[in-house]
Amino acid sequence: MSRRNNADNDGLTSVHAANGHDAQYMNDHASPTTARAHAWTFFRQWLKNPLKVASITPSGQQLARMMMAELPTGARRVIELGGGTGVFTSALLKHGIAADDLMVLELNDELHLHLQQRFPMAYIVNGDARELSKIAAENGYAERGPADAVVSGLGMLSMPKQLQLDIMAAAFACLQPRGRFVQFTYGPANPIAQDVLDALDLDTRRSTTAWRNLPPATVYVYMRRQSEAIPAVPMRGDHR
């Protein structure tokens, strides 16, 4: 499998445009018109498959900033699940993640094509998040080391537990030991079932809420549980 999109790099616009180094990976300009076009693309896919697309509108900039704020300090290699129209992809590139170190999975064929056209230099895969570890092994992403973070736009809340388990297991198989899984939810509580967290030995931290997002969304961060075992300190008179 090719490490790059099939999209021709001729499509690159404003290689050294005002936005800095991220601009070289993007094929559009941030404007209300392009934002509306992305929203329309997204809405059409929602009409076709509301359960999988899971939202009628792409995430807003406030939520994207809050998701980026949860990347570990110095994060270099990132995987994005459910890229949609590319709100987080764009934010990740702006955050400084190099296109070579970013892999984006999108299940929907049309949204996948949209992402390829919008980010011709990035590494966009048409695939299922359940298959993430297999995909990363087959296409060479995993060879270059584990990911520091997985950023997920998947509609976890509406997924059955088994699917949540499969996706979280595949994601943590690609993450370094202290790697983070960053997720958002529209619901009032943790979107991942406690059984799933226990089965995978994961801790959760509830982060901020993006009130300006439509609908408002809360960010959650998942990490492997660190051992809470405290080494035994010999007590006075303890001659064991």
CB of 17 to ligand SAM, least distance (A): 23
SS3 for 81? strand
Which residue type sits at 101? D
**Whole-angstrom distance, CA of residue 222 vs CA of residue 204:** 5
Neighbour count for residue 61 (Cβ, 10 Å): 15
Query: Which CB, 26 or 129, lies closer to ligand SAM?
Result: 129
Query: Which CB, 36 or 225, lies closer to ligand SAM?
Result: 36
Indicate the burial class of 77 (C-beta count within 10 angstroms; 0-12, 13-18, 19 or more). buried
Query: Which CB, 111 or 121, lies closer to ligand SAM?
Result: 111
Query: Which CB, 163 or 202, lies closer to ligand SAM?
Result: 163
Query: Which CB, 154 or 182, lies closer to ligand SAM?
Result: 154
CB of 143 to ligand SAM, least distance (A): 22
**Whole-angstrom distance, CA of residue 205 vs CA of residue 182:** 10
Cα-flanking dihedrals φ and ψ of residue 213, to 5°?
A: -75, 155
**What residues line the site for ligand SAM (CB under 6 A)?**
52-55, 58-59, 81-84, 87-88, 105-108, 111, 128-130, 153-155
Question: Which residue spans within 25-155 are E strands per DSSP?
Answer: 78-81, 102-106, 123-126, 147-152
Contact in structure between 136 and 174 (CB atoms under 8 Å): yes
Query: Which CB, 88 or 148, lies closer to ligand SAM?
Result: 88
3-state helix, strand, coil in the chain (%, to 5): 40, 20, 40
User: Which residue from 56, 55, 106, 98 is spatially nearest to 80, judged by alpha carbons?
Assistant: 106
**Whole-angstrom distance, CA of residue 115 vs CA of residue 89:** 9
Query: Which CB, 10 or 63, lies closer to ligand SAM?
Result: 63
CB of 50 to ligand SAM, least distance (A): 10
CB of 130 to ligand SAM, least distance (A): 6
CB of 219 to ligand SAM, least distance (A): 12
**Element at 176 (helix H, strand E):** strand 175-185
CB of 134 to ligand SAM, least distance (A): 13
CB of 236 to ligand SAM, least distance (A): 58
